[in-house]
Amino acid sequence: MPKNITKKIKLQISAGKATPAPPVGTVLGPAGINLQEFCTRFNDATRDKMGDVLPIELSIYEDRSFDFKVKTPPAAFLLKKSAKISKASSQGSKETVATISKEDLREIAEIKKDDLNAYDIDNAMKIVEGTAHNMGIKVEE
């Protein structure tokens, strides 16, 4: 018999760096799950992606057991990493803060394609390019 999900929680945590301390502890503590077990499982599952910020979907069941699904890093994080900047434009598309190549855009779209609502890589590239445009990152031909 399948377990009933009592709660779904979405978080963004740095890969391999989850600790029971805030912010993870303050979000998951009230849910009643074993924080140390979560941190150990998350850190083991994401050790190869160290340094990336990863969104997760955590499903908590009636018996306080849990499962989580690790998603790909946010497009904004990947764009900043590719452009080698720490912060996007505060003016949005009105101010250009960095430039990336079409190849970099394609790489990011390849990484994100499973999480995006796109039929093919060209549509995924358009979605990521829109995010880049809004962050003040210009895409060169």
Which CATH number among 3.40.50.150, 1.10.8.60, 1.10.10.250, 1.20.1250.20 corresponds to the domain 75-140? 1.10.10.250
- The answer to whether the beta carbons of residues 125 and 139 sit under 8 Å apart is no
Burial class (CB in 10 A: 0-12, 13-18, 19+), 137: buried
Single-letter residue type at 122: D
Q: Express each pLDDT in 3-27 by its tens digit.
A: 888 899 999 999 888 888 888 888 8
What is 5-70's CATH number?
3.30.1550.10
Instruction: Tell me: pLDDT of 107 over 90.
Output: yes
4 to 34, 38, 59: CA distances (angstroms): 18, 19, 10
How much is the pTM? 0.80
